[in-house]
Chains A and B, each alone.
Chain A
Amino acid sequence: MLEVADLTVRFGGITALDGVGFSVARGEMVGLIGPNGAGKTTLFNCLTRRYDADEGTAGYEDIDLLRAAPHAIAALGIARTFQNLGLFPALSVRDNVLVGAHHQGRAGFLGAGLWLPNVRREEARLRAAADAVLDRLELTKVADHPAAGLPFGTLKRVELARALAVEPRLLLLDEPVNGLSSGEVEEFAALVREIRQDLDITVVVVEHHMGFVMSICDRVVCLDFGRKIAEGSPDEVQRDPAVIEAYLGTAA
């Protein structure tokens, strides 16, 4: 489903990603780990066209992802969440989720300005779909509350809800459980499992919480200083000497 090969990104003299390659099969859940600054988020930003890659390719369902326009990513069925929350603070939770469904609508300025019946039908359809997502993530109670001011754990779920509203086939989660309490982490893991089962979504997750990654991922890729240093099942990667070294440093 996703084939990344030789992906290289440089910022000035720094090579953030250095010839990274891996693939994700349909329906798989892949964990992307590595110390801070390893290039995990840069990779996500490349895939969602926030950054341009200097070299390499990223194929997604036979499409060259690196040639797609940044706003066209959602329509290709790729959704993501952000490391430090990328919500719209002034918008209600429901509207945040509805923005996720943006690419499913057709209404333009004129149609909406004239209150055309098809715009209203479309709006009703999008709202029903958004309410279903809100209901699934138990956000119905806060649906009309502005995103700003809600607890962090709730906001993480709102971001997931917004990503699900995209109706993605590939979901990129950037540190989804960072900052959550251990109870919340377990809840989130259960939620992700349930979503994968019900919606047939392929997931790539960047996360530092090893318990979460190891319990939920089918496969793990480890980056360090922009290079892939290990790839395999959670058990294999956990035992890999290169991974241990990257995280703990070499014994002096």
Chain B
Amino acid sequence: MTESTKQAAPVADAAPATGRRDVRALLQERWQWLAAAALVAAVCFAPFQLVPFRVFQLTMVLVYAVALLGLNLLVGHAGQISLGHGAFFAVGAYTSAILLHDHGLPHLVTLPFAAALAFVLGLGLGVPALRLRGLYLALVTLAIAIFLVPLIKRFESVTGGAMGLTLEKPVPPAWTGLAEDQWLYFLALAVTALAFASVYGLLRSRVGRALHAIRDNEAAAEVMGVKLSFYKTLAFAWSAMLAGVAGCVYTWTIAFVAPDSFTVTLSITLLAGLVVGGLGSMAGPVLGGLFVVYVPSLSQDINKGAPGVVFGLLIIVVMLVAPTGLAGLAGRAARSTRKVLQKERRNA
């Protein structure tokens, strides 16, 4: 943000103060705030304009965005890899489902439990990550994702086995006047906003810098006093916790959990979605969430077999055209637009 104001400020000073130019200068200086305000308005307004199925889709975008936010912390920021994040997602989903189904807890109360359990398991997975890297770490995390589905099926009495568990959706409180789908959407939106705010705070602190340092140069990071074991295990734990939170909101949204929703494919879809969205950027997880939800659903209209093919092809295209993901592409577009605007102003 400081960067943009710094760049825009001299231009604004040089401009003669005519009405039309003032608006433009304002646009240039504050475009990020204006864009953010417009986005917030659109995001809050959307569920009142769309049919329930579309609102449901947007809710799912938020669910995936939170899961990808967690994965991004680990992969994009700390430079580790996980092919098993679907497992943490599933742990969050099942924790919530079992607490709702067997213990009748209110929906919101299940969230801290889901988060805590995923956190602890992530901490556990963080331990092998201290010794393994690259492909080896990818394989170990993949093993966890493979392991999980049979495990869920085995403990049928708790998990409902292959049949899964069918649950109730959260009931909107009367004072809100919201429909079920809208209420769910706003619950997911609140969780997403909190998760993003928290990760943003984390990344702009010494913790975020330590993670980035580990990603860029482990040896130098350690010499500078970064305790590798601490940051790696906690990056895994936080990453898993966010995936668990996403899984919990998933359970609220779908009101049904079954093992076949959490196969290895989910883990790989998450990683693919993140890479397409943009590793290491704040917008990446949101764009990745949009990608994961809308590409299969839009391509379904073409042909029944199309989603897989289109999804795969689009990943290849994005990687070729924008190796930094959609977020990188958007950033490039924004920068060149700003340049063009500035040039135009100077010529005017």
Q: Is the CB of B3 within 8 A of A144?
A: yes
Instruction: Say if the beta carbon of B340 comes within 8 Å of chain A.
Output: no
Given the contacts A95-B209, A102-B209, A102-B226, A109 and B215 also touching, CB distance less than 8 Å? no
Which one, B199, B224, B280, contacts A100 given CB within 8 A? Answer: B224
Closest Cβ of chain A: how far from B123's Cβ, in Å? 11
Q: Is the CB of B216 within 8 A of A50?
A: no
Instruction: Say if the beta carbon of B212 comes within 8 Å of chain A.
Output: yes
Instruction: Say if the beta carbon of B204 comes within 8 Å of chain A.
Output: yes
Given the contacts A88-B212, A90-B212, A107-B205, A162 and B224 also touching, CB distance less than 8 Å? yes
Q: Is the CB of A109 within 8 A of B207?
A: yes
Binary A-proximity of B206-236 (CB < 8 A = 1, otherwise 0): 1111101101110111111111100000100
Instruction: Say if the beta carbon of A114 comes within 8 Å of chain B.
Output: yes
- For window 9-56 of B, CB contacts with A under 8 Å fall at none
Given the contacts A71-B228, A86-B220, A123-B204, A113 and B199 also touching, CB distance less than 8 Å? yes
Instruction: Say if the beta carbon of B143 comes within 8 Å of chain A.
Output: no
Query: In whole angstroms, what is the CA distance A82 to B204 when docked?
Result: 26
- For window 96-119 of A, CB contacts with B under 8 Å fall at 98-103, 105, 107-109, 111-115, 119
Given the contacts A71-B227, A99-B226, A102-B226, A112 and B202 also touching, CB distance less than 8 Å? yes
Q: Interface-forming stretch among A73-81, A131-139, A240-248?
A: A73-81
Residues of B close to A105: CB separation below 8 A:
205-206
Q: Is the CB of A91 within 8 A of B212?
A: yes
| Size class of the A contact interface (CB-based, 8 Å) | 35 or more
| Size class of the B contact interface (CB-based, 8 Å) | 20 to 34
Q: Is the CB of B206 within 8 A of A123?
A: yes
Q: Is the CB of A99 within 8 A of B209?
A: yes
Query: In whole angstroms, what is the CA distance A115 to B202 when docked?
Result: 8
Given the contacts A86-B219, A91-B212, A91-B213, A108 and B224 also touching, CB distance less than 8 Å? no
Q: Is the CB of A91 within 8 A of B216?
A: yes
- For window 123-176 of A, CB contacts with B under 8 Å fall at 123, 126, 144, 162, 166
Residues of A close to B280: CB separation below 8 A:
90
Closest Cβ of chain B: how far from A163's Cβ, in Å? 9
Most B Cβ at <10 Å: residue of A75, A101, A113: A113
Query: In whole angstroms, what is the CA distance A74 to B205 when docked?
Result: 19
Instruction: Say if the beta carbon of A180 comes within 8 Å of chain B.
Output: no
Instruction: Say if the beta carbon of B157 comes within 8 Å of chain A.
Output: no
Most A Cβ at <10 Å: residue of B199, B219, B225, B280: B225
Which one, A86, A95, A119, contacts B212 given CB within 8 A? Answer: A95
Q: Is the CB of A88 within 8 A of B217?
A: yes
Instruction: Say if the beta carbon of B303 comes within 8 Å of chain A.
Output: no
Closest Cβ of chain B: how far from A37's Cβ, in Å? 20
Closest Cβ of chain A: how far from B80's Cβ, in Å? 15
Residues of A close to B198: CB separation below 8 A:
113-115
Query: In whole angstroms, what is the CA distance A98 to B212 when docked?
Result: 12
Query: In whole angstroms, what is the CA distance A98 to B224 when docked?
Result: 10
Instruction: Say if the beta carbon of B124 comes within 8 Å of chain A.
Output: no
Closest Cβ of chain B: how far from A79's Cβ, in Å? 8
Instruction: Say if the beta carbon of B252 comes within 8 Å of chain A.
Output: no
Instruction: Say if the beta carbon of A191 comes within 8 Å of chain B.
Output: no
Which one, A80, A87, A119, contacts B217 given CB within 8 A? Answer: A87
Query: In whole angstroms, what is the CA distance A71 to B228 when docked?
Result: 8
Q: Is the CB of B225 within 8 A of A103?
A: yes
Instruction: Say if the beta carbon of A179 comes within 8 Å of chain B.
Output: no
Ranked 5 nearest A-B pairs via Cβ = A74-B225, A86-B220, A112-B205, A103-B225, A88-B216
**Chain A residues at the B interface, C-beta cutoff of 8 Å:** 48, 50, 69-75, 79-80, 82, 86-91, 95, 98-103, 105, 107-109, 111-115, 119, 122-123, 126, 144, 162, 166
Show 9 A/B contacts (Cβ-Cβ < 8 Å), sorted by A: A70-B223, A72-B225, A79-B224, A86-B217, A89-B217, A91-B212, A99-B212, A99-B226, A100-B224
